Amino acid sequence: METLITILAGILVTAATYLILSKSLIRVILGTAILSHAAHLLIITMGGLKNGSVPIIGEGDANPVDALPQALILTSIVISFAVTAVSLVLAYRTYQETGTDKLDQLRGDRNE
Amino acid sequence: MNNIIAMPMMIPILVGILLIFFRHHIKLQRWSSLAAMIANIGITAYILHQIQQNGILRLDFGGWEPPFGILFVADSFSALLVLTTSIVAAICLVYAFSSTEKSYEQMFFYPFINFLVAGVNGSFLTGDLFNLYVCFEIMLLASYVLIAFGGRKGQLRESIKYVIINVVSSWFFLIAIAYTYGALGTLNFAHLSVRIAEQGQSPMLTVVSIVFLTVFALKAGLLLYFWLPGSYSVPPTAIAALFGALLTKVGIYAMFRVFTLLFYHEPHITHTIIGILAGLTLIIGSIGAVAYKDVRLIASYNVVIAVGFILVGLAVATPTAMEGSIFYLIHDMIVKALLFLLAGTMIAVTGETRIDYMSGLIRNYPLLGWIFFIVILALAGIPPLSGFIGKVLVGQGAVEAGAYILLALAFISSIFVLYSLMRVFLTSFWGETIISKEDKIPMKNGWIIPCIILAAGSFILGIGVEPLTVYVKDAAEVLANPQIYIDAVLYDN
């Protein structure tokens, strides 16, 4: 199971890297969103994917799954959500100001 | 009892949250932010004194004993850096009072500066890996907003690049945390260190340590610095000074923590790589510093050189070199803030950013010119000023360890620093003045007073090395003997 999820995370990272290296700004931001999905999958996988009950006291048997990675992911999801929101707004403002979302046109003057 | 060590993070956060509600009361915003920073200076000085007397302080949040809860740990190294951060932030705030436009100040300028400082202080004080990630993100989110403050074209352009590169480096950080947790099953620094020592640093752990190195190299601008010159040259002056003084230093601090406390078992791999990166950073930073004519870019490349220099101390890893790095780190925070403030002031009075469009500034603004001259001497490491002792100790450590190539690169880079800034001084301050008496923009007190305070700080740091040495020696001792840190966190109740 761990192997499968790790391979899936690897595929996500590949797709994200490809998107981040593209010219369009919105594709880059999509790439970062996929990148954070890969990280979250990897964190839950590294905690171990054994069979067990939900980590709530009084639910299921006495063999719960590791609760710490879930807390880490929850924190990290919120953070990447906030960062994605900020970067989307920044991309929108950049589009308004410069009239382009192509990264190779966002170079600025030579003398600036 | 030890609640006091959470204050350097708590006070700015509380003040920042409160100030959100008083958006239009600029006076209140200014003075309460400044009061928060000054309170932090006092508190951190007290913490530093406490550490001298009682050893390393720690605060377990919620009463959970380590390694189960999140905790703050204050040793001399973190306390010294928090103290310097508070001083620099207070002075940059004073500069911001007279340099920031009123419309900016109403758009939550001061709350974001408070959050930035809170993130930086939290990163210095935390004793938990994931908490370090969270504090990094607090600092970075505040910096994303601050770098785009005002929303000019160039700022938006550079902020996009800055945000994307930091999202990627945060992703690397998460990956490194995931693998660390998978391999060792804990996230507490001291507990991690114990477990790594128990099972030995396997090749897998060395790979994880290289991922950490990548993360912090991206944050600190160690060879992976390509985002830095662009993003540090666009924000308003006071913010650029805060960035130049604080942000890269957090990456350097994290690198010191991780490679002295956790991954110190295979120095011939990790520390050699750090040494190579530091050497390359010194070379590239030196080339950049002499290549440009934009005063902000020259200042940014000087940040890159300093990062390389400080990490020479970590690569060499003798106690003397560590001590030198700590001295140089403190010196660099103060002097880089001053350099960025001076560069911003030069741009403000001339309206130009290129040094060959400015000339003869010393006739119009003699005080500014002579302070700039002091900065040059301090950065190059001329004895009465603050850069000297750090350079000497790092050099001595490199000689002890036999790292002669790094030694040569580190000292040759000083010549490039001297040359790049002397060039600014000679072309913009000497020569015929191009500003006529009528067009002269008067120097505001709010611009020059922070610069004077920082220059005085450099003098005090240079002359007062002896009283400071007690604290720096203690900090270097904890870095050199991780057992002191582990005992203080895990076994001292």
pTM of the model: 0.95
Interface of A with B in 49-68 (CB under 8 A): 68
Pick the more confident residue, A23 or A57: A23
* Residue A60 is assigned to a structural domain of this protein: no
Q: What is the pLDDT of residue B394?
A: 94
Let me know: does B459 contact B375? Beta carbons within 8 Å: no
CB-closest option in A35, A68, A91 to B160: A91
**Residue A46: both structure tokens together:** 């590294």
pLDDT reading at B357 higher than 90: no
Predicted pLDDT of residue B252: 95
B388 three-class SS? helix
Residues A12-35: what's their mean pLDDT?
95
Residue B71 has pLDDT above 80, yes or no: yes
| DSSP state letters, chain A | -HHHHHHHHHHHHHHHHHHHTSSBHHHHHHHHHHHHHHHHHHHHHHT-----B-SSTTSSSS-BPPSHHHHHHHHHHHHHHHHHHHHHHHHHHHHHHHS--BGGG----S--
pLDDT of B493 higher than 70: no
Residue A111, pLDDT > 60, answer no
Number of domains in chain A: 1
Question: Is the Cα dihedral B356, B357, B361, B363 positive or negative?
Answer: positive
Q: Domain of A15? A: 2-49+66-99
List the single residue in B141, B157, B168 with the smallest CB-CB distance to A82: B141
Inter-residue contact B344 to B423 (CB < 8 Å):
no
Residue A108 falls inside a structural domain: no
Q: Which residues pair with B492 in a beta bridge?
A: none
Question: Do the Cβ atoms of B154 and A108 come within 8 Å?
Answer: yes
Whether the per-residue pLDDT at A57 is higher than 70: the answer is: yes
Quick: pLDDT tens for B433-443: 877 666 777 88
Task: Give domain status of residue A87, yes or no.
Answer: yes
Flag whether A61 is in a domain: no
Q: Mean pLDDT throughout B132-153?
A: 92
Residue B180's pLDDT band, with cuts at 50, 70 and 90, is very high
Would you say residue B274 has pLDDT above 60?
yes
Average pLDDT, chain B: 92
* Subunit contact B171:A94, Cβ cutoff 8 A: no
B444-449: list long-range contacts, CB under 8 Å, 24+ apart. B444/B98, B444/B99, B445/B98, B446/B94, B446/B95, B446/B97, B446/B98, B446/B99, B447/B95, B447/B98, B447/B99, B447/B341, B447/B345, B447/B348, B448/B345, B448/B367, B448/B368, B448/B371, B449/B94
With bands split at pLDDT 50, 70 and 90, how would you rate the model's confidence at B359? confident
Where does the pLDDT of residue A112 fall: very low under 50, low under 70, confident under 90, or very high at 90 and above? very low
Any domain includes A105: no
Residue A110 in any domain: the answer is no
Q: Decide if A111 is inside a domain.
A: no
Q: Which of B40, B65, B217, B37 lies closest to B127 in space, CA to CA? A: B65
Kindly list the residues from chain A whose CB atom is less than 8 angstroms away from the CB atom of residue B171: 32, 35-36, 38-39
Which of A6, A22, A94, A110 has the most B C-beta neighbours within 10 Å, making it the best mutation to test the interface with B?
A: A94
For the cut 70, the answer to whether the pLDDT of residue B23 exceeds it is yes
Structure tokens at B300: 């940014």
- Indicate the pLDDT class of residue B1, thresholds 50, 70 and 90: low
Residue A82 lies in a domain: yes
How many C-alpha atoms does B59 have within 13 Å on its Cβ side?
16
